[in-house]
């Protein structure tokens, strides 16, 4: 699975990896959320319905994955199912978070454990430029301050993450979609990771 904040390139990388491995591709499908545009216009007002929609969407995706287990031995996804709580804690007030948790407990989500998580990270200023370049109108309202808080939330989440092998990638200066060498170096690192926590800094590529 490929994870990281908005604009870091996780969907594009997931698509290319799915081609390389000839595997099933599972996308977050954020554009199906009818509250998302309103969320970027007014996060405080629309955070709860946005998060609840994503939570119910995750429940459907988990069920679809379980029903097709025997037919798709390899899958590439552009999101980690467990990261929903990260966004809930970042955007909901305490009462809303309590309601979110109640709904989540009722759904009894039990997502499958990935074989590997590739976590892409980049500074807020890089994410802001990439969001601007891809030109989705409602995303242009995202502020640098929100991206900084989001990056910090991801860092906290993965600091304690040990459910699966983890490759942390400094994605600030690479373009694995348009630069073949960048992609091949990253693919090589992905294939090497079998367990534990590893770091890939393309400026001085190393597996530690």
pTM: 0.90
pLDDT tens for 123-178 read 999 999 999 988 888 888 899 999 999 999 999 999 989 999 999 999 998 999 99
The confidence score (pLDDT) of residue 91 equals 95
CATH code where residue 138 lies: 3.40.50.300
Q: Is 175 designated active site?
A: no
H-run or E-run covering 193: none
* Helix spans in the chain (H): 10-21, 36-41, 43-67, 84-91, 94-107, 124-134, 144-159, 180-192
| Opening angle at CA 32, ends 27 and 37, nearest 5 | 115
Q: Which of 31, 69, 78, 93 is catalytic?
A: 78
Print the domain residue range for 189: 2-204
| Total domains present in the chain | 1
Q: Is 55 left (phi over 0), alpha (psi -120 to 50) or beta?
A: alpha
pLDDT at residue 68 greater than cutoff 80:
no
pLDDT at residue 71 greater than cutoff 70:
no
Question: In this structure, how many other beta carbons lie within 10 angstroms of the beta carbon of residue 3?
Answer: 26
In a 13 Å sphere around the CA of 60, the CA atoms on its Cβ side amount to 10
Q: What is the CA radius of gyration of the chain?
A: 17
């Amino acid at each position: 699975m490929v994870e990281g904040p908005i604009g870091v390139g996780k969907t594009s990388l997931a698509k290319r990896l799915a081609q390389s491995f000839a595997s099933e591709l599972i996308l977050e499908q954020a554009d199906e959320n009818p509250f998302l545009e309103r969320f970027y216009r007014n996060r405080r007002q629309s955070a709860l319905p946005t998060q609840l929609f994503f939570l119910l969407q995750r429940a459907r995706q988990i069920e679809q994955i379980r029903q097709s287990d025997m037919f798709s031995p390899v899958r590439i996804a552009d999101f980690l199912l467990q990261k929903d709580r990260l966004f809930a804690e970042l955007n909901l007030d305490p009462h809303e978070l309590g309601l979110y948790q109640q709904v989540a407990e009722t759904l009894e989500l039990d997502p499958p454990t990935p074989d590997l998580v590739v976590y892409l990270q980049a500074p807020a200023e890089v994410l802001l430029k990439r969001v601007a370049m891809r030109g989705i109108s409602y995303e242009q309202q995202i502020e640098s301050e929100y991206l900084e808080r989001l990056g910090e939330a991801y860092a906290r989440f993965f600091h304690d993450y040990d459910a699966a092998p983890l490759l942390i990638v400094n994605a600030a200066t690479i373009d694995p979609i348009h630069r073949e060498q960048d992609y091949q170096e990253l693919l090589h690192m992905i294939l090497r990771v079998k367990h534990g926590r590893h770091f890939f800094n393309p400026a001085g590529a190393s597996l530690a």
